[in-house]
Structure 1
Amino acid sequence: MGLKPWQKALFPLRSVPAVVRLFEAELRQAEPDLVLLSLVLGFVEHFLAVNRVLPTNVPGVTFESRPGPDPQTRLYFPVAELSIVAALYARFTAQIRGAVDLSLYPRPDGCSSRELVRKVSDVIWNSLSRSYFKDRAHIQSLFSFITAPVYPPGTKLDSSGVAFAVVGACQVLGLPDVHLALSEDHAWVAFGAGGAQTAEVTWHGKGNEDRRGQPVQAGVAERSWLYLKGSYLRCTRHMEVAFMVCAINPSIDGHTDSLELLQLQQRLLWLLYDMGHLDRYPMALGNLADLEELEPTPGRPDPLTLYHQGIQSARTHYNNEHIYPYLYLAGFHCRNKNVKEALQAWADTATVIQE
């Protein structure tokens, strides 16, 4: 199975609004296509932040030109042609389906087994380059995973990118019970009836410790912060889309961000916000608030309101075990020289850590 006719009709994607329209169409589906959306975001990010060159230097890829912020400059947006995206999509789906024989993993109750989840994890894990700096930027999308023979930088994924790739691969295989699980510094998967089962699918910490296939219950029982004492995000498909949007990295270098990527991330987060998919995602609300502080959107809630919505989400849905919502708020007050409010937010952070 490839892309559906209605998906193909949305291509080519020549601008930020065109990408937003694709996401909106996918988010209206019960099962947004994670692979397609991740490939599109990775493609756009690659040519706006990683390989930001003159249009004539990239054979096979065209750029849409429009006036820049001043008369002397022009902005270029990489055109995501259907032929390119469809080829990458076909490559990923063929790789996954060719490597996993579902007949070897019976699903009598319609739910995935731990052995099947481990097998999918093995396929992703064993496809990665053997040696690379795993904390480098711009290796979170399926584009960076699947483009080794075509575009640099090759078959690389960061830690959370591996977990996302496993979930995307499971969607390709028709395993709707496998979902992304997130803490504030780690990712794994939940599966089975009601997401009751969990499995590590990516490495652990700086030592790249491999616990793949093991449940996370031991870490939860130890009340480990890595697993938020059990109060972690159990993502829906739509929250998994929010995850990939939050993972957009607009940095071109240590001092410069891509304006187009910032705009794309901000517009996509507002789309998710309006559809209710950020209600249980405190970090995404903090991310959106930071973007609004940089470039406010007329008629939208101000950053302070969004920061407090993130805190309220953590209190309501996650037993107030998340510290990042308070850190987002403290950072905002610190940047705006609101010393008293910043100290209070840091104190609230310390309270969450102590409890």
Structure 2
Amino acid sequence: MGLKPWQKALFPLRSVAAVVRLFEAELRQPEPDLVLLSLVLGFVEHFLAVNRVLPTNVPGLTFESRPGPDPQTRLYFPVAELSIVAALYARFTAQIRGAVDLSLYPRPDGCSSRELVRKVSDVIWNSLSRSYFKDRAHIQSLFSFITGEEGPPRVPPGTKLDSSGVAFAVVGACQVLGLPDVHLALSEDHAWVAFGAGGSQTAEVTWHGKGNEDRRGQPVQAGVAERSWLYLKGSYLRCTRHMEVAFMVCAINPSIDGHTDSLELLQLQQRLLWLLYDMGHLDRYPMALGNLADLEELEPTPGRPDPLTLYHQGIHSARTYYNNEHIYPYLYLAGFHCRNKNVKEALEAWADTATVIQE
């Protein structure tokens, strides 16, 4: 199975607005297509932040030009043609379906087994390059996983993903295989998957920490029982498909280098987060609300809640749904007050952060 006719009709994507329309159409579905959306975001990010030189040697790749903020400048948006995206989509789905024989993993109750989740994790894991800097930027999407990059002479191209990108790729692969019970689980510094009836079971699918420790297939219950901050003492995000879309939007990295961000990527991320906000998919996602607030501080959207309101919404979400075990909502708020020289308010927010950690 490939892309559906209604999905194909939305291409080519020539602008930020066109990408937003695609996301809006997908978010209105009960099962938004994670693979398609991640490939599109990765494609756009690659040519706006990683390789900004207008390529002349990539067949079928064009750029849409429009006036920039200054009269002397122009902005260029990489056109996501259907032929390019469909080819990447077909490559990923064929790789996953060709590597996982579902007949070997019975699902009598309609739920996935730990062995099946581990197998999908193996497929993603074993496709990665053996040696690369895993904390580098712009390797969080399925575009990075599928395309890879050219290495040194005589070294073949290799696919790359960061830690949370591996977990997301496993969930995307499970969706391709028709496993609707497998979802992303998130803390503030780690990602794994939940599966089974009501997401009752968990499994590590990516590495741990700087030592790249491999615990794949193991449940996270031990870390929860130890009240580990890595698992937020059990008060972690259990994502829906729509929250998984929010995760990939939050993962957009607009940085071109250490000093410059892509204006188009910032605009795209901001508009997509507002789309998710309006549809109610950020209500249980405190970090996404903090991300949106930071973007609003940079470039306010007329008629929208101000950053301070959004920061407090993130704190309210953490208190309401996650037993006030999240520290990032308070750090977002403290950073805002610090940047605006509100010393008293910043100290109060940092004190709240310390209270969460201490408890």
Structure 1: how far apart are the matches of 2:56 and 2:76? 12
Deviations 1:82-106 (Å, cap 9, x if unpaired)?
0000000000000000000000000
Aligned to 1:167: 171
Q: State the partner residue of 1:304.
A: 308
After TM superposition, give the deviation of residue 71 of structure 1 in Å: 1.3
Q: 1:285 to 1:89 in 2, by over 3 A?
A: same
Deviation at 1:54, TM superposition (A): 2.4
Stretch of structure 1 that moved more, 63-72 or 301-310: 63-72
TM-score, normalised with respect to structure 1: 0.98
Summarize the Cα distance change of 1:41–1:190 in structure 2 as closer, same or farther, 3 Å threshold: same
SS in structure 2 at match of 1:55? coil
Q: How does 1:1-355 map onto structure 2 within 5 Å? A: 1-56=1-56, 58-147=58-147, 154-355=158-359
**How far does the alpha carbon of each residue in 1:193-226 deviate from its partner, in whole angstroms, 9 at most, with x for none?**
0000000000000000000000000000000000
Structure 2 distance, partners of 1:166, 1:24, is 24
1:210-256 Cα distance to aligned partner (Å, 9 max, x none) = 00000000000000000000000000000000000000000000000
Work out the CA distance in 2 between the residues paired with 1:126 and 1:227.
Answer: 26
Contact 1:39 1:88 in 2 (8 A): yes
- CA drift at 1:5: 0.1
Q: Closer, same or farther in 2 for the Cα pair 1:144/1:106, shift >3 Å?
A: same
- C-alpha spacing 1:323/1:152, structure 2 compared with 1 (3 Å): farther
Distance 2:58 2:259 in 1: 24
| Cα deviation 1:16-63 (Å, max 9, x = unaligned) | 000000000000000000000000000000000000012546443100
Contact 1:144 1:157 in 2 (8 A): yes
SS at the partner of 1:181? strand
**Quick one: distance in 2 between partners of 1:187 and 1:33?**
20
Looking at structure 1, the residues matched to 33 and 155 of structure 2 have their Cα atoms a distance apart, in angstroms, of 23
Q: Is the 8 A contact 1:144 1:154 kept in 2?
A: no
Measured on the aligned residues, the alpha-carbon RMSD in Å equals: 1.7
Structure 1 unaligned runs (5+)? none
CA gap 1:229/1:180 in 2 versus in 1, 3 angstroms:
same
Provide the TM-score with structure 2 as the length reference.
Answer: 0.97
1:30–1:151 CA distance, 2 compared to 1 (3 A): farther
Shift of 1:130: 0.3
Structure 1 residues 338, 150: closer, same or farther in 2, change over 3 A?
A: farther
The secondary structure found in structure 2 opposite 1:30 is coil
- Contact between 1:144 and 1:153, CA under 8 Å: does it hold in 2? no
Instruction: Describe the shift of the 1:189–1:26 C-alpha distance in structure 2 as closer, same or farther (beyond 3 A).
Output: same
Shift of residue 258, structure 1, vs aligned partner: 0.1
* Contact residue 141 and residue 244 of structure 1 kept, 8 A: yes
Take 1:20 and 1:151, find their aligned partners in 2: how far apart are those partners? Answer: 38
Query: How far apart in 2 are the matches of 1:150 and 1:194?
Result: 48
Question: What SS class does the counterpart of residue 56 from structure 2 fall into?
Answer: helix
Question: Residues 47, 174 of structure 1: CA spacing in aligned structure 2 closer, same or farther, 3 A cutoff?
Answer: same
Cα 1:154–1:212 shift into 2, 3 Å: same
Q: Secondary structure at the match of 1:198?
A: strand
Report the more deviating stretch, 218-227 or 70-79: 70-79
Closer/same/farther in 2, CA of residues 47 and 110 from structure 1, 3 Å limit? same
> Which has the larger displacement, 56-65 or 223-232?
56-65
Q: 1:153 to 1:251 in 2, by over 3 A?
A: farther
Using the alignment, how far apart are the partners of 2:183 and 2:155 within structure 1? 29
Q: What's the CA shift string for 1:299-319, capped at 9, x where partnerless?
A: 000000000000000000000
**CA deviation digits over 1:259-292, x for unaligned, max 9?**
0000000000000000000000000000000000
Q: Is the 8 A contact 1:320 1:352 kept in 2?
A: yes
Deviates more, 1:8-17 or 1:65-74: 65-74
Change (3 A) 1:343 1:181: same
Deviates more, 1:69-78 or 1:21-30: 69-78
SS of alignment partner, residue 39 of structure 1: helix
What is the CA-CA distance between 1:179 and the residue it aligns to? Answer: 0.1
Change (3 A) 1:274 1:101: same
SS of the aligned residue for 1:56 comes to coil
1:177–1:193 contact (8 Å) kept in structure 2: yes
Secondary structure of the residue aligned to 1:57 is coil
Seen in structure 2, the aligned counterparts of structure 1 residues 154 and 63 have a Cα distance that, compared at 3 Å, is farther
- The SS at the match of 1:106 is coil
State the shift of 1:70 in Å: 1.1
